[in-house]
Amino acid sequence: MNVIDSSGWLEYFTGGKNTAFFAPVIEDTANVIVPTISIYEVFKRTLADKSRDDALEAIAMMYEAKIVDLDREIALIAAEISFELKLPMADA
């Protein structure tokens, strides 16, 4: 299973320079985990940069993967991993 952060999804949806890197993983939706926070970030950013229809189309693809709700336990585990690996919570 792979977790794709919002920046990876956005790179893929916008056809950025790293699209080829993310495409094989993202397109294998049976093996992708999508945190609910990524749905929020991708929808908001796509809505701002493109259109509501584009944002809904992006989210529809994300819905093909396994959606994982951010609950208290997962939030604490994610915070510990983020701290240990010096990862940001979200992209600016």
Residue 91 has pLDDT above 70, yes or no: no
Q: What does the pLDDT read at residue 47?
A: 94
| Three-point CA angle 91, 77, 74, nearest 5° | 85
Q: Do residues 33 and 2 lie in contact, with contact meaning Cβ atoms separated by under 8 Å?
A: yes
pLDDT tens digit string along 24-62?
999 999 999 998 989 999 999 999 999 999 999 999 999
Residues 6+ apart with CB under 8 A from 33: 1, 2, 3, 65, 66, 68
The mean per-residue pLDDT over the stretch 70-87 comes to 85
Instruction: Map out the domains of the chain as residue ranges.
Output: 2-85
Fold of 2-85: Rossmann fold (3.40.50)
Residue 6 has pLDDT above 80, yes or no: yes
Question: Helical H runs in 27-92?
Answer: 36-49, 52-62, 72-85
Sign of the torsion formed by the C-alpha atoms of 33, 36, 38 and 39: positive
86 or 34, which is more confident: 34
